[in-house]
Amino acid sequence: MHVTSAPLPPRVLHVTQPVDGGVARVVADLVRRQCAAGMTVSVACPSSGGLPEELTGLGCEVLTWEASRSPHKGLPGEWRRLAEVVSLVRPDVVHAHSAKAGLVARLVVRGRVPTVFQPHAWSFEAVGGAEAWLARMWERHGARWASRLLCVSRAEQRTGTSHGVEGDWRIVPNGVDLERFRPASPSERSLSRPDAAGPLVVCVGRLCRQKGQDVLIEAWRTVATEVPRARLVLVGGGPDAARLKAAAPPSVSFTGPVQDPVPWYRAADLVVLPSRWEGMALAPLEAMACGSPVLVTDVDGARESLPPGLARTCLTPPDDSEAMARALVHLLRGPEDLGELGRIAADHVRTHHDLRCTAAAVAGIYGDLLSLETIECREPITT
């Protein structure tokens, strides 16, 4: 009798830089689900931040790959080290996250191992002039070495194609862990919100140009006049912290980096993310899962992440402090019931952005690639 053995779970190598913010959260969430599904998972990433320790605790092999955020600084050394990692791990699939990891991983592998590139917003949106031109040229060229281009929103894909990036696209919306991100019970909310003097607005994100907190602080000057009891809390750390603190009015406070944003999502009457660019921001999804309404800028993924019908109220143009101020004032003292908006938001995320569905869709992409690949015939990766 002929017995056919079942295929072994794939050996996956994630490559990531950065190791903080939403990208790190996505990587950690995927690794957790993939390890639980029996995959052999390794991650190559810088040793800084809390991501390596978190991944190790999940039973994942973490291999140090020191890399800067800059696309050109130290590139030859980063290439050599990642080539060593790939040769050591011998992955069935390489999954590269964000611009720098996507650059180096594709240069190392060059299509000899099935490669998924996930941009987490396009690199050319972050820069201007010659740098933006070079980034576009690279993404157009590098797409040939990605077996799949994985976007978290249709808008992110459209941005890529509108700039000449062509490839085999897959769209998998971001998901959140609904066991961790959930509405507070009455006792949890009272503990997280001891001071109920006025409306509390919270912004969770890395303090940097992409996230647009400078626009929010400028808008807040109007809010502080129109809704004087309102308070704004910026949750997170980053390179712009000192500059933002110097520009902030008295009703704005800063927490610095936090281990767990959930208490802040639950405490907030409104969560705002004034990003200049995104693929599909994770913080608004987390906030909505916790039952908080959100105000976000109309960047890639924003409309797709909101419940139908809320775009008119919960979207503002990016980089427009006056429009943001008007929207904030309207929401904080207008006719909308913020509690009801939060309940609608929580239902929407439970239905459309469950992390389990996201992880299953990514696993399906791996499976499709491996069903087409003859693993034994790969060309070896050498340094």
Q: How confident is the model at residue 5 (pLDDT cuts 50, 70, 90)?
A: very low
Per-residue pLDDT, averaged over 78-84, amounts to 96
Say yes or no: 86 and 234 in one domain. no
Say yes or no: 167 and 197 in one domain. no
- CATH value at residue 130: 3.40.50.2000
Residue 195 pLDDT:
58
Residue 192 pLDDT:
57
Say yes or no: 293 and 360 in one domain. no
Per-residue pLDDT, averaged over 314-329, amounts to 97
Residue 369: count other Cβ atoms within 10 Å of its Cβ: 19
Mean pLDDT of the chain: 91
Say yes or no: 66 and 141 in one domain. yes
Say yes or no: 194 and 318 in one domain. yes
Say yes or no: 93 and 169 in one domain. yes
CA-wise closest residue to 289 among 268, 309, 266, 312: 266
Rounded Cα gap, residues 217 and 215, in angstroms: 6
Residue 4 lies in a domain: no
Say yes or no: 362 and 347 in one domain. no
For residue 323, what are the domain limits? 186-352
Say yes or no: 147 and 118 in one domain. yes
Say yes or no: 102 and 167 in one domain. yes
Domain count within the chain: 2
Residue 364 lies in a domain: yes
pTM for the complete prediction? 0.90
Say yes or no: 163 and 252 in one domain. no
Rounded Cα gap, residues 58 and 352, in angstroms: 26
Residue with tokens 């990003």: 275
**Which residues does residue 42 pair with via DSSP β-bridges, in sequence order?**
13, 61
Q: How confident is the model at residue 189 (pLDDT cuts 50, 70, 90)?
A: low
Residue 1 lies in a domain: no
Say yes or no: 130 and 197 in one domain. no
Listed in sequence order, the DSSP H helices in the chain are: 21-36, 51-57, 75-89, 98-109, 129-142, 154-162, 186-192, 213-226, 241-247, 262-267, 282-289, 302-305, 311-314, 321-333, 338-352, 355-371
pLDDT in tens, 369-383: 998 654 333 444 554
Rounded Cα gap, residues 223 and 200, in angstroms: 12
